[in-house]
Structure 1
């Protein structure tokens, strides 16, 4: 009996104690009086929103997770930013650097040293390309790869639609690279052919969508061999993307066409292909496709592909997306043409592009010239809620110390303040290094920044740019 009484008493104490914690908002429950947190920001056009900032765990970052983003009252001051950067600006690697810091929520310029100077942007060019592509494609627009009937019932035509991330087998609905599957397309086509009693076909390709040269004349001769960039075509397999020291096929279209023919053969359809033996992507004798669609697969949304291109700094994917956006907009599709088109599109967004010149969309060309001011203009636009495709692309920028091209950076005592909470697009060419992105400072305020460094060795330039970002991340700057 005494044990039962003691147990009941202990239970009562626990219930009353928890109720007290609940009412005091230290524990969740029915008595909690603290209001619920506001809903997360949205991408409603015309409404300024803040980026979704991942909350890294202590086990994978250098600091505790971030708190909520600050309101207008926590805006930093220009004087505060200058104080925070005082020592960093004296670093030798930044002696010839254009540096800009802006309030990401209001757009106010907080620091500008050489922001209007025209410099080589390297891969930060991709931010401009993302803005231009987002100006053409709808937020959820996808790319279709189809097979249509040719001029006769036994002729089938593969019609590329710009998807270079097709899985060689079944597609994965949760993937960006590999959302559409070549095997899924083959299954559809085989069923349509069998329903018509056809078991032998001639397979051809329609090369009319966004044609153009596969390599830019301003790129290094060894860029393809080193896997820095692949051939720019409107069809390709996700497993054949160019990666460092793993070059892509010389002709991704022929590779995909051959893989598709093999899938049809495996399913009992005899295939005679008209592929040029030399492997050229421009083929003669292609029958005009009819309106009858025998099969169709769709890519991940273009905005998700742009985010992937920024995460991986994928030069080929960026060029592919920019070329077809220019093509859809009625522009010519040479590399210089697409570069000029990107500049025009960015200008139409209300930015100052005076003196800006691009010879490609990915930033591999040393002839490109961009200003740090323009890069921060695009970043501010990406966070203002009116450009959802660009906004999603910016969410694909690597995270300091964690992902992509920033995965091995921000690991020192002098840069750790930005680890886990800065996003940035990197840029690296010999003698030209850049960094442009966003960071949440110690007051919870979103800042955007751009740094373009000339002349300094790559390792020194990267270290100095990382310290630049870490300084504004740690300051609060009010």
Structure 2
């Protein structure tokens, strides 16, 4: 039976797929409040010798062919610039405030947890400073992580790959006179957006710049060859649906594409729309964009080439640092970008840049920082696959390591987390009276598949103590379930649980 999947952020998105998943907000969405921080907000994390110092905004008010899945049985980060609207930032450390007690946290949460809209509810709350558990329900159960899986990908990325690394797309002279080879280097943010259209990846390199360099070289172009050998293996993961590429007659949105290391604008047909349908032919679409930019729209674009590395370089452009790309992937829950970054983990771990190699490398990266990945099942790096499973505890532990400063590089993951009621996939959440106390204070990654909703993040209580949460609702549907989770987070924000 085909089931309908609703994606995260409460945007009402519906997708076709087997039982579960996540998503992104539509183009142009901004917080109705316009308070605290611009949409491109990032909260700076300054690392000290013993703990992270987290700067908080002051609140002004309250089935396709693919690889097998993996089942596991056993440098400083430069953040994007902070843009602030209004009252500014307020500093605190993860250790600030009084020690919360499990009994007081449970008592504070009890009214919110009584809401039947939470359905089959699982979760955990940790002390952000110590990692001690303060509340948990259905301990040991595996959950469908949906897009919160991106946090595991992000943690492995920031601790395995130089955060300042940039991904390069280049054009080199081809084997025959007049041939050029467009060589993909894994940068899915390369933009072909026309003049007047703002692409979905701020600061991305452009095809226009690449074409201008080729033209300046004086090389006469007659044909474009495409090299996609930077990655290998299947282009779709187990648990993905081709309907998520081009959309359906009733849902004209796209959330993934055939994973090729050469593409423009995440393969979106509408370069300014986060949820645009995808072409499904990423490399060919990128080559066609280059032909147009060269003023040669009718020349042949031919896939299947492989550069030797000895050719004359006619032009090249680079992405933003992978730390910035991760922030973009988390803020808007961008599946294609997360998958590309996952392959960078594979390359860093000297694993094949395939789905199998990537998920094994991510698990290895998590093990390398001391995390227990028992029970983790990964089919992709984005959380889109219906085959993914993870313990809530693992997701919470990754977040706790980030906010506590225990592993400094993980602080770079925090800058991309949406802010409650303000940005990204949380822009339109926390709008009810019960959820409003967390507006501007909580930061979290969302995830939704079918009737499962996930939320993993952190919030300071009224004493300034950082509380980490990983929440998962199953057997529920629609806005009431997301709103009920918001109220749980707001209860943590209101907690003086000492």
- Please say whether Structure 1 and Structure 2 have the same fold, judged by a TM-score greater than 0.5: yes
1:289 is displaced (CA, Å) by: 4.5
Counterpart in 1 of 2:71? Answer: none
1:357 aligns to what? 377
1:69 corresponds to which of 85, 92, 97: 92
- Residue of 229, 238, 245 corresponding to 2:265: 238
Picking from 411, 415, 420, the partner of 1:391 is 411
Q: 1:177 to 1:162 in 2, by over 3 A?
A: farther
Instruction: Please state if 1:114 is matched with 2:138.
Output: yes
SS of equivalent to 1:223: helix
Q: 1:251 to 1:467 in 2, by over 3 A?
A: same
The residue number in structure 2 matching 1:255 is 285
Counterpart position of 2:166:
142
The CA deviation string for residues 400-446 of structure 1, in whole angstroms up to 9 with x for no partner, is 11112111111111111111110111111112111100112111221
Distance, in Å, in 2 between the alignment partners of 1:169 and 1:388 is: 36
* Partners of 1:334 and 1:253 in 2: CA distance: 17
Equivalent residue number for residue 219 of structure 1 = 240
Between the two structures, name the one with larger relative contact order (CA 8 Å, sep ≥ 6): 2
Q: How high is the TM-score relative to the length of structure 1?
A: 0.80
Find out whether 1:432 has 2:452 as its counterpart.
yes
Give the whole-Å Cα distance in 2 for the aligned partners of 1:337 and 1:403.
33
Unmatched 5+ stretches in structure 1: 1-39, 276-282
- Distance, in Å, in 2 between the alignment partners of 1:247 and 1:170 is 17
Q: Partners in 1 of 2:127 and 2:88 — Cα distance?
A: 21
Judge which range, 340-349 or 380-389, deviates more: 380-389
SS in 2 for 1:190: helix
Partner of 2:207: 182
What is the CA–CA distance in structure 1 between the aligned matches of 2:156 and 2:379, rounded to whole Å?
15
2:55 to 52, 55, 77: 52
- CA, structure 1 residues 258+395, in 2 after alignment: closer, same or farther (shift >3 Å)? same
SS in 2 for 1:475: coil
Q: C-alpha offsets along residues 74-132 of structure 1, whole Å, 9 cap, x if unaligned?
A: 23222221121122222224452221111212222211222421111111111111112
- Aligned residues of 2:184 and 2:263 also touching (Cα < 8 A): no
Where does residue 203 of structure 1 map in the other structure? 224
Q: Tell me, yes or no, if the aligned pair for 1:147 and 1:159 is still in contact at 8 Å.
A: yes
Aligned to 2:317: 297
User: How do 1:228-377 residues align onto structure 2 when only pairs under 5 Å count?
Assistant: 228-238=255-265, 240-241=267-268, 246-265=276-295, 272-275=299-302, 283-284=303-304, 286=306, 288-377=308-397
Cα–Cα, structure 1 residues 170 and 142, in superposed 2: closer, same or farther, change >3 Å?
A: farther
Calculate the aligned-residue CA RMSD, in Å.
3.0
**Does the CA-based 8 Å contact 2:400-2:468 persist in structure 1?**
yes
Q: What is the CA deviation profile of residues 162-185 of structure 1, one whole-angstrom value per residue up to 9, with x for unaligned ones?
A: 11111226999x995442121111
Q: Is the aligned partner of 1:449 residue 2:469?
A: yes
Q: 1:84 to 1:285 in 2, by over 3 A?
A: closer
CA 1:371–1:50: 2 relative to 1, 3 Å: farther
How far off its partner does 1:470 sit? 0.6
Q: Which residue pairs with 2:148 in the alignment?
A: 124
Q: How far has the Cα of 1:212 moved from its partner? A: 3.3
Tell me, what secondary structure is at the counterpart of 2:55?
A: coil
Q: 1:41 deviation in Å?
A: 5.5
What does residue 87 of structure 1 align with? 111
Write out per-residue CA displacement over residues 135-177 of structure 1, whole angstroms, 9 at most, x where no aligned residue: 32212111111122233564322111111111226999x9954
Equivalent pair of 2:267/2:285 in contact (CA under 8 Å): no
1:443 and 1:319 mapped to 2: Cα distance? 38
Unaligned runs of 5+ in 2: 1-43, 63-83, 248-252
Query: Paired residue for 2:125, among 92, 101, 108?
Result: 101
Q: Relative to total residues, which structure has the larger helix share, 1 or 2?
A: 1
SS at structure 1 position matched to 2:494: helix
Find the aligned partners of 2:140 and 2:419 in 1 and give their Cα distance: 27
User: Runs in 1 of length 4+ with deviation above 6 angstroms?
Assistant: 63-66, 169-172
Are the counterparts in 2 of residues 303 and 390 from structure 1 also a CA contact under 8 Å? no
Q: Work out whether residues 119 and 475 of structure 2, in 8 Å CA contact, stay in contact via their aligned partners in 1.
A: no
Structure 1 contact 134–389 (Cα < 8 Å) conserved: yes
Q: Secondary structure of 2:390's partner?
A: coil
The answer as to whether partners of 1:169 and 1:183 remain within 8 angstroms in 2 is no
Residues 231 and 316 in structure 1, CA contact (< 8 A), matched pair in contact too:
no
2 CA distance for matches of 1:120 and 1:200? 49
